[in-house]
Amino acid sequence: MLTIALRAFLKTVRQPFQLFPLIFFPAILLAINASGLTAATELRGFPTHSYLTFAIAVAYVQGALFALVNAGTNLAEDIESGFFTRLALTPLSRAALLGGLLIGIAAVGVLQSLVYLLIGAVAGAHLHGGLPGAFLLLGLGAFASAGFGAGGIAAALLLRSGEAVQGLFPLFFVLLILSSANLPRNLLHGWFHTVATYNPFSYLIEGFRAVYLSGFPAGPLLGAVAVIAGTWLLFGSAAVALLWRSLRPG
Amino acid sequence: MSTPPDPAIRVEGLVREFPGGLRAVDGIDLAVSKGEIYGFLGPNGAGKSTTVAILTTLLPPTAGRAVVVGHDVTAEGAQVRRKIGASLQQSALDPYLTAWEHIRLQGALHGLPRPHTQRRGEELLHRLGLSEAASRKVRTYSGGMQRRLDLALALLHEPQVLFLDEPTTGLDVQSRTGLWEEIKALAQRGVTVFLTTQYLEEADLLADRVGIIDRGRIVAEGPPSRLKAEIGRPALEAIPADPASAAGLAKLLERFGEPLSLGTTDGVSIRLQGGTGELAEIVRAIDAAGIAVADLRIHAPTLDDVFLAKTGRRLEGGGEG
């Protein structure tokens, strides 16, 4: 299983064109938002005076979303190149194959989260949760990446094309925009507030954000954990079902 | 078909039907002895790769039974996969890994101890001429090098049966010849080789026995020499210097054998009734008739002739079948 995980990790980090958007695109968006939306902190009810501290949580979630595309594209490439068949021709069990892929994705998730932690620290985002909070963010980043990565695996097994998997990203990105990514929900109004309230991305972002803003508040953290658990349940079971269908029993 | 005792591969009534009703494999029976090179010959789409996919546990059969190295491919897939190696049509390699990383990955997936993987990897890379390139990423490899690495990976865990699905397709002559030597050497070491190919020369040169498959059914099976001997008589092709005299030439040659189509447009062909012994008499008859001949060729029977005799179609240049 660890062999598969290591190979999945290496496949990602050895492709600069894949690694760059995975790690730095969320950081670039963060820099743009933090420099352009600082005035939002003047609004009554905004939870902090630093927009960077408020917005950095979105980078973690974007990173997890990229894990979906990255994992799906990598597996679709393996299917198209026949490498997946090589794995299927070994005595490796399907559970070990899926586990290995998810561990590899989680490892990339840890790397991404570490980069965002460092960027936040260097740029001056205040991490209220301190060192334990940093470890919690790494853990949430890893599990969120693996959860969304399972979605990428399921998509690759279903669509069997890297381009088709990449086509899913805009759908999720729209959901990310229609959440509390740029403003807290208490400052959203009308249909946007309704959509953001029902949007699971809001709760995922608010969990990461809470570690920066206030440490370890149970409510937002439980909300984020519930969303991550939901991705594992939904995408994980889809990946299991499709993998079991794709690979022969025995 | 006589079944060898304790065959490495035994297939009985194998059927694979795809959605839409296409029967890619339509009731195949075959048995391959240990240490034998079995050539599975047929045009594209004949059912070769589907058969290999079933025998390597990648695809379940719709009906019938296949046993590889004593294990049923449907019920005991993991045991089958431990004992077989496969190099399929597409070199299944990761362009971002080196040859050594592939070898370590393959060794770990087969549960080989690291020192064993290292030793075996060194041996295979050396034997297949990849030692110097072993630390380079595979994306820098030529097609021939990728094929050889694919074969090395298939052999790493010392399989008892090796499936090679069109292993030389797309290779240059030198790479193809090198791979043939390696396949022969493997069989000499006792490895059973199940080789699919659409190259007649390859099957003729390598295989102890060939099975010719067409439209999902085996239409002929046996040693290449015996199959060709069954077809028996050679063919003669005469190309008239003046195409206008082709009809007269054809009428004249009918005395020496039945007309035959060799797939060429400018010649007249017959299957010789009395073998090459009549050649001198044929030349005298053509000369006496005053027909100028630009070329006269004798074609010894080939596996393509066997295919033609069994199916009424040519295997070579047959396109998608």
Distance in Å, alpha carbon of A32 to nearest chain B alpha carbon: 33
Between residues B55 and A80, the one the model is more confident about: B55
Q: Is the pLDDT of residue B171 over 80?
A: no
Could you state, in order of their start, the residue ranges of all structural domains in chain A? 2-246
Q: What are phi and psi of B271, to 5 degrees?
A: -90, 115
Cα first-last separation, chain A = 18
Task: Report yes or no for ipTM above 0.85.
Answer: no
Q: Using a pLDDT cut of 70, give the percent of chain A over it.
A: 99
Closest Cβ–Cβ partner in B60, B86, B110 for A248 = B60
CA–CA dist A71, A153 (Å, integer): 6
Q: Return left, alpha or beta for B252; rule: phi > 0 is left, psi -120 to 50 is alpha, else beta.
A: alpha
The per-residue pLDDT for B317 is 55
* Percent composition of chain A: helix, strand, coil (DSSP 3-state, to 5): 80, 0, 20
Question: Residue B16: its pLDDT value, please?
Answer: 93
Query: Is A3 in Cβ contact with B75 (below 8 Å)?
Result: no
| pTM score, whole prediction | 0.77
Q: What structural domains and CATH numbers belong to chain B?
A: 9-229 (3.40.50.300), 233-300 (3.30.70.980)
- Which pLDDT does position B245 carry in this prediction? 86
What is the torsion angle, in degrees rounded to the nearest 10, for the CA atoms of residue B304, residue B306, residue B308 and residue B309?
A: 160
Q: Which two tokens stand for residue B56?
A: 């390597």
Contact A85 B57 (CB under 8 A): no
pLDDT beyond 50 at B125: yes
Say yes or no for a CB contact (<8 Å) between A87 and B109: yes
A14 touches chain B (CB under 8 A): yes
User: Whole-angstrom Cα distance, residue A101 to residue B212?
Assistant: 41
pLDDT band (50, 70, 90) for residue B318: very low
Tokens encoding B157: 């865990």
